[in-house]
Structure 1
């Protein structure tokens, strides 16, 4: 079956990326996960994308999961290094066509990659993260969104976030999913255990938090944002506790060909909590 998932290691940009893979051919669907996730977050979409004719790669991103090494300095997580990772993975794939799919931090990375045209893309799929320019504007004006984003400030404290997130067998990591989800049955203990194990790998938690530290110390959201000319799909769970619906307003100013699909009653973890709905949207839009 084309949708059977295997795991492999790909060397790119000086790192050994561990990747879940399915499908074959030179049409690549590259799936970028968020915080505090891993490649495991795409388990429901990988077989579908393979059945749609793509070779699917879902890597543990820099600092996450089984990808090694895990740099511990903040500068290694500047947006330029992360963009270079994505470009190196695309180059290593040898694909002639690339659909870039991102959720959470992976979506912020995908937005930036498409805007800067680091490599040609045929399509862009974004899940539950606003365009960085829209988020920056809303964050400056909205006290409510500032309060929702409190953790970004907390993560700037050296050492303390890591200790708190890993305490009591990574209880805070588990609660990030089970606590925010509307349909908690989508996050059984086995799934929570997987995310806890990934976060508990040596050096992983500091690396994961360093994505936020680098974004503050080396900001990129206020840079110029030319309009994206790649067809773009935004899938949004409306019950997102971290990002308000106002962060969607004005997205069309930055995207020439935008399709927006909103899912009521679905949390930030949209592709895991509502995989049937998300997969149906992907099938329709990519076909």
Structure 2
């Protein structure tokens, strides 16, 4: 399918520039419009262009906004490492949504790190959103619970230790970003060279790469090692992140980062929940199964 025309915009949020893609030529979204407005938050190590394939399958009656997360690709790196803590990111992205949404109710869509932000953003700023859509991004509460009880999940999360290591920045550069390339899979770099080039361009910017790693370095809790002892696991505190708006979860079962049982506890935290799983999809469901995902999003948003 031909990709939908998206326009580049920049907006200043709390003293830093955020780049975003939108289907509207004007930077301000129409405040009087009754068209659904979807805001897409991408994950690590991607950028806003990750959503183009999915957006191409959405009805043209949807308005879309897809930012580069703060510090990623064309969005300006933040001033300090503390600015990448989850509470600070929530405040900044809520301000971004208020600016681009202009008092319209927004459907929030998140994948991976974008989803890790979207869960608490919808919980603590629910007045900004009408609905929440999550794609292969663990709810903070069920993720922490599973880290405490599941060796399989702890094993799947060990890659994070490579990303928070003191030499992570240098190691990624010296290896030509082999860890990031392996995460995304070789097929991406041959099948969508234009998008892959935007990724590598961002990674090669030292300040951008450091910003991307700062998300992991500011995770609320440390990731335990696979065979952590009982005391270390007991120290993990399960947050109480409750979602009161209608929520759709789209999940690729073959996810290398999350065990599928991470979905089991969601009804304890999400009041109105719909889950659709795809048997063949991996963590990158938004790109691998763009048409399937768009179909479910269209039915959910209507």
Q: How does 1:95-114 map to 2 (within 5 A)?
A: 95-114=103-122
1:173 aligns with 2:142: no
Find 1:205's aligned residue among 204, 209, 212.
Answer: 209
The aligned counterpart of 2:281 is 266
CA–CA separation in structure 2 for the residues paired with 1:112 and 1:223: 13
- What secondary structure, in the 3-state scheme, does the structure 1 residue paired with 2:251 have? strand
Point out the more displaced range, 15-24 or 106-115: 15-24
The aligned counterpart of 2:30 is 25
CA–CA separation in structure 1 for the residues paired with 2:181 and 2:19: 22
User: CA 1:184 to 1:208, structure 2 compared with 1: closer, same or farther past 3 Å?
Assistant: closer
TM-score (norm 1): 0.89
Structure 1 residue 125 displacement after superposition: 0.3
Contact preservation (8 Å) 2:134, 2:250: yes
Structure 1 residue 237 displacement after superposition: 0.6
1:275 aligns with 2:290: yes
User: CA 1:136 to 1:218, structure 2 compared with 1: closer, same or farther past 3 Å?
Assistant: closer
CA–CA separation in structure 1 for the residues paired with 2:169 and 2:289: 29
Structure 1 residue 187 displacement after superposition: 4.4
Structure 1 residue 117 displacement after superposition: 2.5
Q: How does 1:67-106 map to 2 (within 5 A)?
A: 67-68=75-76, 70-71=77-78, 73-93=80-100, 94-106=102-114
Find 2:52's aligned residue among 30, 43, 47.
Answer: 43
The aligned counterpart of 1:7 is 8
Q: Deviations over 1:243-265 (max 9, x none)?
A: 11011111011111100010111
The aligned counterpart of 1:252 is 267
Structure 1 residue 29 displacement after superposition: 1.2
Q: Deviations over 1:79-102 (max 9, x none)?
A: 111111211111212142111100
Structure 1 residue 120 displacement after superposition: 2.5
Contact preservation (8 Å) 2:13, 2:95: yes
CA–CA separation in structure 2 for the residues paired with 1:72 and 1:222: 29
Contact preservation (8 Å) 2:141, 2:240: yes
Contact preservation (8 Å) 2:84, 2:218: yes
CA–CA separation in structure 2 for the residues paired with 1:128 and 1:203: 27
Contact preservation (8 Å) 1:78, 1:218: no
Larger radius of gyration: 2
Q: How does 1:147-166 map to 2 (within 5 A)?
A: 147-158=155-166, 160-166=167-173
The aligned counterpart of 1:141 is 149
Alignment gaps of 5+ in structure 2: 224-235
Alignment gaps of 5+ in structure 1: none
How many positions carry a matched residue from both structures?
280
- What secondary structure, in the 3-state scheme, does the structure 2 residue paired with 1:255 have? coil
Structure 1 residue 58 displacement after superposition: 0.5
User: CA 1:226 to 1:177, structure 2 compared with 1: closer, same or farther past 3 Å?
Assistant: closer
CA–CA separation in structure 2 for the residues paired with 1:107 and 1:133: 13
- What secondary structure, in the 3-state scheme, does the structure 1 residue paired with 2:280 have? coil
Structure 1 residue 208 displacement after superposition: 0.5
- What secondary structure, in the 3-state scheme, does the structure 2 residue paired with 1:125 have? strand
User: CA 1:82 to 1:124, structure 2 compared with 1: closer, same or farther past 3 Å?
Assistant: same
User: CA 1:276 to 1:49, structure 2 compared with 1: closer, same or farther past 3 Å?
Assistant: closer
Structure 1 residue 185 displacement after superposition: 8.5
